[in-house]
Amino acid sequence: MEKRTITAELLPEDEGYSVYCPELDIWTQGDDVKDALNNLREAAELFIETVGPEKAFSRRREILRQELELVVNG
């Protein structure tokens, strides 16, 4: 059994938190930080179990992240 570390990017919402894992490209949510992190752990484990660890972690390499500069009128 291999251990992996994933990132949890938490976004406060009006009710609770959304959480994103960029390594696996999955989102989930929870009522509070602890709940959101527990839900992410469960979602990540199910995702990896479904597609297999090699595919789960290799698909992230196919996604490119770019920053764009915007002009916002307001």
β-strand partners of 30: 17
What is residue 62's predicted lDDT score, i.e. its pLDDT? Answer: 62
pLDDT 10s digits, 45-70: 999 999 998 888 876 556 667 888 98
Where is pLDDT greater, at 41 or 64? 41
What DSSP designation does 59 have? G
Whether the per-residue pLDDT at 16 is higher than 60: the answer is: yes
Distance between CA atoms of 45 and 59, rounded to whole angstroms? 15
Q: Where do the DSSP E strands lie in 22-62?
A: 26-30
Whether the per-residue pLDDT at 1 is higher than 90: the answer is: no
Its pTM stands at: 0.77
